[in-house]
């Protein structure tokens, strides 16, 4: 296995879809050996598409490819006693086991937490659910868009009606929360010598990122509404039309407001706009005035002027533009892996770098997302040779 800060860890990934696989991939990116335990039909996302790529008789889902790099695939039918025994032998050797079954399913498959810790007292178990493992609605199935709605995120996203985020953000945040919870439990294990269960949910992830929108209600007693393309508490801060493409501006301080006004030859102390509170109160008028001015030239003109003035600003890039942008490439945010049927495949990279190196994540070499049971024989052989 490639090196990395977690290269001494063995992770069993029993999860499917996105939240759990993303959590496991984060640890894999950091060098952990991740064995993805899949049911006979494979992870659900192997069938999620289009788009699919590869030979017509052997297609791969790009959705699956997005969340499963740096893993080995082992097919196990946990209702089969022989396969269940393989999992038990892996548990004895593992540091982490991740699962996102509905509450009680892993117990019925013969692997309750009590047995997992009997097999391996040092095992850290991550359990991700939709709405929490207990409580009056703890047994509900968890799907991202439902969690975005139930967790309040959609009520503050959009312009004229509630809108979901363009990626499965509830899944992704639950995965991130799970990964950092696992690392905390591993750190604790170094002192106690024992593992523990880490629990999180899609609902917890949504509530956990409410930030100032949450305290707007819990502290100020105001229910936030749709925020659209502009910040509800800062102005000007948002997206503005120009003579060509939209641009974004972020005046997060009075100093930046003054810099913007200087660049546009405006009076920063003009009545109705002299403070942020006044600008928020008169936001619609301010947006209209800025867009009337911005309509007189193209986006590149305004971005250059704002950059010279030191006002934070930027484009609204399409995905193809993002992955060809030299800044993205310089940060290792696109990586290439060698897939057994697809050849060289470009994937979004890890958001972490260490010691200012050029690698995406903590490892020098990344593994392509695995084919179903691609590593089954090798893993069974390893278990046999390891006793």
Residues labelled as active-site residues? 171
Which helix (H) or strand (E) segment holds residue 98: the answer is strand 96-99
Of 377, 370, 345, the residue nearest 43 (C-alpha): 370
Tell me the DSSP string of 286-343: HHHHHHHHHTTS-HHHHHHHHHHHT--EEE---HHHHTT-HHHHHTT-EEEEEETTTE
Instruction: Give φ, ψ of 260 to 5 degrees.
Output: -60, -45
Candidates 253, 270, 232, 271; CA nearest to 311 is: 253
Query: Cis before residue 316, ω within 30 degrees of 0?
Result: no
Q: Using CB atoms within 10 A of its CB, is residue 358 exposed (0-12), middle (13-18) or buried (19+)?
A: exposed
Closest CA to 16 of 35, 42, 37, 43: 43
Alpha carbon 163 to its chain's center: 18
**Of 166, 82, 131, whose CA–CA distance to 383 is shortest?**
82
* Residue 149 half-sphere exposure toward CB, CA atoms < 13 A: 7
């Amino acid at each position: 296995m490639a090196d990395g800060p977690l290269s001494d860890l063995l992770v069993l990934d029993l999860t499917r879809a996105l939240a759990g696989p993303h959590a496991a991939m984060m640890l894999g990116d950091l060098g952990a050996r991740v064995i993805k335990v899949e049911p006979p039909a494979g992870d659900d996302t192997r069938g999620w598409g289009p788009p699919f790529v590869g030979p017509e008789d052997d297609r791969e889902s790009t959705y699956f490819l997005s969340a499963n790099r740096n893993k080995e695939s082992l097919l196990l039918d946990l209702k089969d006693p022989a396969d269940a025994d393989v999992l038990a032998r892996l548990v004895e050797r593992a540091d982490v086991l991740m699962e996102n079954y509905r509450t009680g399913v892993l117990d019925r498959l013969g692997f309750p937490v009590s047995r997992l810790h009997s097999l391996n007292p040092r095992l850290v178990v991550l359990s991700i659910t939709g709405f929490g493992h207990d409580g009056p609605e703890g047994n509900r199935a968890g799907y991202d868009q439902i969690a975005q709605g139930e967790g309040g995120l959609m009520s503050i996203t959009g312009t004229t009606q509630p809108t979901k985020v363009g990626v499965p953000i509830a899944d992704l945040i639950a995965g991130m929360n799970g990964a950092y919870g696992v690392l905390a439990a591993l750190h604790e294990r170094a002192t106690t010598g024992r593992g523990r269960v880490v629990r999180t949910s899609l609902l917890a992830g949504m509530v956990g990122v409410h930030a100032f929108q949450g305290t707007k209600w819990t502290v100020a007693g105001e229910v936030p509404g749709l925020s659209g393309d502009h910040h509800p508490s800062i102005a000007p801060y948002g997206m503005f039309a120009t003579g060509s493409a939209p641009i974004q501006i972020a005046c997060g301080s009075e100093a930046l407001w003054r810099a913007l006004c200087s660049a546009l030859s405006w009076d920063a102390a003009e009545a109705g706009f002299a403070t942020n509170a006044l600008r928020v109160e008169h936001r619609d008028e301010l947006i209209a005035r800025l867009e009337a001015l911005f309509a007189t030239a193209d986006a590149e003109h305004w971005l250059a002027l704002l950059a010279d003035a030191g006002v934070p600003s930027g484009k609204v890039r399409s995905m193809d533009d993002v992955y060809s942008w030299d800044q993205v490439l310089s940060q290792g945010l696109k990586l290439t892996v060698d897939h057994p049927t697809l050849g060289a495949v470009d994937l979004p990279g890890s958001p972490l770098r260490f010691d200012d190196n050029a690698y995406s994540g903590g490892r020098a070499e990344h593994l392509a997302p695995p084919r179903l049971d691609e590593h089954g024989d090798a893993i069974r052989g390893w278990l046999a040779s390891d006793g």
